[in-house]
Amino acid sequence: MSLPKASHVRQQFLDFFASKGHHIVPSAPLVLKDDPTLLFVNSGMAPFKDYFLGNKPAPYKRVADTQKCLRVSGKHNDLEEVGYDTYHQTLFEMLGNWSFGDYFKTEAIAWAWELLTEVYKLPKDRLYVTYFQGDEGDKLAADTETQNLWRQYTTEDRILPGNKKDNFWEMGDTGPCGPCTEIHIDLRSDEEVAQKPGRELVNADHPQVVEIWNNVFMEFQRLADKSLIKLPAQHVDTGMGFERLMMAVSGVKSNYDTDVFQPLIQFIAKEAGIEYHGTAPATVNDQPATENEKTDIAIRVIADHIRAISFTIADGQLPSNVKAGYVIRRILRRAVRYAFSSLNQKQPFLYKLVPVLADQMASIFPELKAQQQFVQRVIEEEEISFLKTLEKGSQRIHSLILNMFKEHVSRVTLHPKDSEGKAMSFTPKEIKELKEAIIDQYDSDLAKNLHVAATSSAPVNFQQAMSDYHFAIGTFKNHSADYKIDGKTAFELSDTFGFPLDLTALIARENGLTVDEAGFQKELEAQKNRSRNAQESEQSDWVVVNSDNGELSVFVGYDVEEAPARLLRYR
Ligand code: ATP
Ligand code: MG
Ligand code: MG
Ligand code: MG
């Protein structure tokens, strides 16, 4: 079966809303120069803010589009999920239809249902819808209007109440806001559905029961005193994740298995000489269990990140050491690191993917094709310079981890067994040799993983050394709390080698270790003070920038602040 074409599915959306009187507009660039509140556009409504705020009249009352969105910083940060789960990207397309003071709930809901079930022919018994259940604090009643509207289309057991977090949208602390209704789809097999109804898995982070479309009904304005008043005009703001829609219409289990990602994935696999196996998703905190899983995750991360990097550069934001430029540089480095350590790409690699992406997107986002060579050159140069520091930093981490492992092995008691499983006794000298063999083996594996030293295939002195090797590693990993990359080293890695904290944390995690993030923050703080005193800035990757209110602040990026909380979620 061939996969539905992305260009066709996207066009169906635009045509459908054109037929309902919508004016089709192109995507705004990812970086809005006149919006200081956002590093990147992270939803379809961002370019239309002024119309909702009443700063400008909307040129059309009904608009539809596909908007490039990036969720890698601030309130919406999905970076850590990417490559591990099936449905969060860094860059994604948000399909949207808009009513600026025109139609409201009745039409929006009717059209959403018609499009999904009649045009895309998604099975009705796999769709779930939510409505706002009300909020006492805000003295808001439940959105029974939406609930009742849905009753015309689907059955009671598929209409679910939702809380303020999921079903009440606000632009910011003040401004337009209102209830929303979201549509979720259950893509599990019939057997799985029989075991557990999909309604129990809505908004529960299940990889195959996913939110596809959010319809926001802006009817209130939040004032500075936190009270709500009714807006003079009511608006509709919808956003449907295009890659998720593609997963649904293709009947596959992951965004990556669609025509959106397959051309990139196949190209990466071929170029790296590694097969893509399409392994099931893991959670961020899982160790990839197998080599296939590990290379698959890397391929997915790269296929995702190249889109974010390429389009941001094409939209005029070059990688740099400050603000949005630094976010992009870090995403690029994250991709390089995956290519380097999981796909064994020691030479620039990512830039080769740009033409594939540019061709794929040329009909809808021609800006990339138009600047293909420029974008390639920028990426290649970034890769060259980062690969150099990566090599040096890897050596440093390697010796650090190896020393911890040595210390660990010196403490563990080994229980070698012969081929029949009987315990063998060894002289102290033999035990010492066995431990050395284990350390050698670990060293060579570690080196292989980090691709630093040439792999020395250490002679395995005893038949069962391997099982002890795994035993030692297992206990090492179980003792991760005892073995930390200290804050000072993590900071040195970032400061001197351009190794962002998330990369250090990733390598540590792969070896069952943790990083002293609090210690890192302390070092960062100390450096901030030093630079403040010396009136210096932009000396390193952890850059001191002048924030808009004139105070000095440090942009420490997304993962430093948010990753720990996210990782905890998965424990
Ligand atoms: P989720 O709960 O799955 O993280 P969300 O509630 O944060 O999604 P919204 O802000 O409501 O998402 O955005 C509207 C739509 O955009 C979602 O229904 C989804 O289809 C899509 N979307 C959101 N985040 C992503 C992402 N990181 N990658 C791909 N699509 C996304
Ligand atoms: Mg989200
Ligand atoms: Mg959600
Ligand atoms: Mg949502």
Q: Ligand 1 pocket, 244 CB below 6 A?
A: yes
244 with 140, same domain: the answer is yes
Ligand nearest to the CA of 247: 1
Does ligand 1 lie within 6 Å of residue 254's CB atom? no
Structural domain contains residue 239: yes
Cβ–Cβ < 8 Å for 249, 116: no
Give a yes or no: residue 443 inside a domain: no
Write down the residue that tokens 């439940």 correspond to. 142
Answer yes or no: is 363 within a domain.
yes
Instruction: Find out whether the beta carbon of 256 lies less than 6 Å from any atom of ligand 1.
Output: no
Name the band, by pLDDT with cuts 50, 70 and 90, for residue 38: confident
Residues 202 and 302 in one domain: no
- pLDDT at residue 421, rounded to an integer: 61
Which of 354, 387, 420 is the endpoint of a domain?
387
Give nearest CA residue, ligand 1 atom 27: 88
Instruction: Please name which ligand lies nearest the alpha carbon of 43.
Output: 1
Ligand nearest to the CA of 184: 1
Instruction: Kindly identify the ligand whose nearest atom is closest to the C-alpha of 183.
Output: 1
Which atom number of ligand 1 is nearest to the Cα of residue 166?
6
Q: How far is the CA of 433 from the centre of ligand 2 (A)?
A: 52
Find the Cα–Cα–Cα–Cα dihedral 73, 78, 83, 87, rounded to 10°.
-140
Whether the per-residue pLDDT at 464 is higher than 60: the answer is no
> Is the beta carbon of 241 within 6 A of some atom in ligand 1?
yes
Please tell me if the CB atom of residue 94 comes closer than 6 angstroms to any atom of ligand 1. yes
Ligand 1 atom nearest to CA at 245: 20
SS3 221: strand
Asked if residue 178 and residue 42 are part of one domain, the reply reads: yes
Question: Same structural domain for residues 321 and 174?
Answer: no
pLDDT at 557 over 60: no
Model's pTM, two decimal places?
0.79
d(CA 398, CA 507): 10
Under 8 Å between Cβ of 128 and 198: yes
**Cβ(78) to ligand 1 under 6 A?**
yes
Identify the residue with better confidence: 516 or 442: 516
**Predicted complex ipTM:** 0.99
Query: 72-73 and 76-77 as β-strands: parallel, antiparallel, unpaired?
Result: antiparallel
Residue with CA nearest ligand 1 atom 26: 88
Let me know: does 358 contact 261? Beta carbons within 8 Å. no
My answer on whether 129 and 216 are in the same domain is yes
- Tell me the CATH number at 172: 3.30.930.10
Closest ligand to Cα 241 = 1
Give the pLDDT confidence score for residue 78 in this predicted structure. Answer: 92
Is 323 contained in some domain? Answer: yes
Pick the atom of ligand 1 nearest to 78's CA: 27
- Cα–Cα dist 367/209, whole Å: 34
Summarised one tens digit per residue, pLDDT across range 74-96 is 888 899 889 889 999 999 999 99
Q: What is the pLDDT of residue 322?
A: 86
Q: Per-residue pLDDT averaged across 125-139, rounded?
A: 95
CB of 383 within 6 A of ligand 1: the answer is no
11 domain-assigned? yes
Is residue 304 within 6 Å of ligand 1 at its C-beta?
no
Instruction: State what percent of residues in the chain have pLDDT above 90.
Output: 57
Q: What is the spatial distance between Cα 508 and Cα 516, in angstroms, rounded to a whole number?
A: 11
Kindly give the number of the ligand 1 atom that is closest to the alpha carbon of 94.
16
Residue 1: predicted pLDDT: 62
* Collapsed DSSP state (helix, strand, coil) of residue 235: strand
Are 228 and 356 members of one domain?
no
pLDDT of residue 555: 31
- pLDDT above 60: residue 546: no
Q: Ligand 1, residues 30, 45, 94, 208: which to mutate, most atoms within 8 A of Cβ?
A: 94
Residue 476 pLDDT: 66
Distance 167 CA to ligand 3 centre (A): 8
| Domain shared by 87 and 236, yes or no | yes
Q: Is 71 in the pocket of ligand 1 (CB under 6 A)?
A: yes
Q: What tokens appear for 482 in the block?
A: 């005892």
Q: What is the pLDDT of residues 93-121, one digit of tens each?
A: 999 999 999 999 999 999 999 999 999 99
- Predicted confidence at residue 539, as pLDDT, reads 30
Q: Which residues contact 171 (CB under 8 A, 6 or more apart)?
A: 45, 49, 52, 53, 177
Q: In the predicted model, is pLDDT for residue 565 greater than 50?
A: no
Element (H, E) at 437: helix 428-450
Q: How many CB atoms lie within 10 A of CB 227?
A: 11
Ligand 1 near 214 CB (within 6 A): yes
Q: H or E segment at 395?
A: helix 372-411
What is the crossing angle of helices 501-510 and 487-497, to 10°?
120
**Domain for residue 478, yes or no?**
no
Q: Select from 368, 387, 406 the last residue of a domain.
A: 387
Q: Are residues 317 and 201 in the same domain?
A: no
Once rounded to an integer, what is the mean pLDDT over residues 54-65?
94
Q: How many CA atoms lie within 13 A of 135 on its CB side?
A: 16
Residue 372 contacts by C-beta under 8 Å, 6 or more apart in sequence?
A: 354, 355, 358
Domain count, the chain: 2
Given a contact cutoff of 8 angstroms between Cβ atoms, the answer to whether 64 and 22 are in contact is yes
Q: Is 343 a member of any domain?
A: yes
- C-alpha angle 293-298-304 in degrees, rounded to nearest 5: 125
**Pair (198, 304) in one structural domain:** no
**Which distant-in-sequence residues (6+ apart) come within 8 Å of 298 by Cβ?**
83, 338, 339, 341, 342, 343
Share of the chain above pLDDT 70, in %: 83
Closest C-alpha to 23, from 52, 55, 68, 58: 58
- What is the 406 CA–ligand 2 centroid distance (Å)? 42
Burial of 167 (0-12, 13-18, 19+ CB in 10 A): buried
Contact assessment for residue 52 and residue 172, using Cβ atoms and an 8 Å cutoff: no
* Cβ(261) – ligand 1 distance below 6 Å: no
Q: Is the pLDDT of residue 547 over 50?
A: no
Distance, CA of 299 to CA of 82 (rounded, Å): 11
Last residue of a domain, one of 387, 409, 439: 387
Please say whether the beta carbons of 305 and 261 come within 8 A: no
Instruction: Examine the domain organization and report whether 70 and 24 are in the same domain.
Output: yes
pLDDT, tens only, 341-357: 789 898 999 999 999 99
Which atom from ligand 1 is nearest to the alpha carbon of 82? 27
Same domain, yes or no, for 216 and 335? no
- Which whole number is the average pLDDT over 127-136? 97
Q: What is the DSSP letter of 56?
A: S
Q: Could you write out the DSSP letters of every residue in 305-320?
A: HHHHHHHHHHTT----
Domain limits at 337? 276-387
> What is the whole-number distance in angstroms between the Cα of residue 240 and the centre of ligand 4?
9
Angle of the 6-19 helix axis to the 242-250 helix axis, nearest 10: 110
CB contact at 8 A, 548 and 262: no
- Best-predicted range by mean pLDDT among 145-154, 172-181, 421-430? 145-154
- 186 Cβ closer than 6 Å to some ligand 1 atom: no
**Nearest in space to 47 (alpha carbons), one of 23, 70, 31, 24:** 31
Same domain, 285 and 239: no
Q: Tell me if 261 is assigned to some domain.
A: no
Which residue type, as a one-letter code, is found at position 370? A
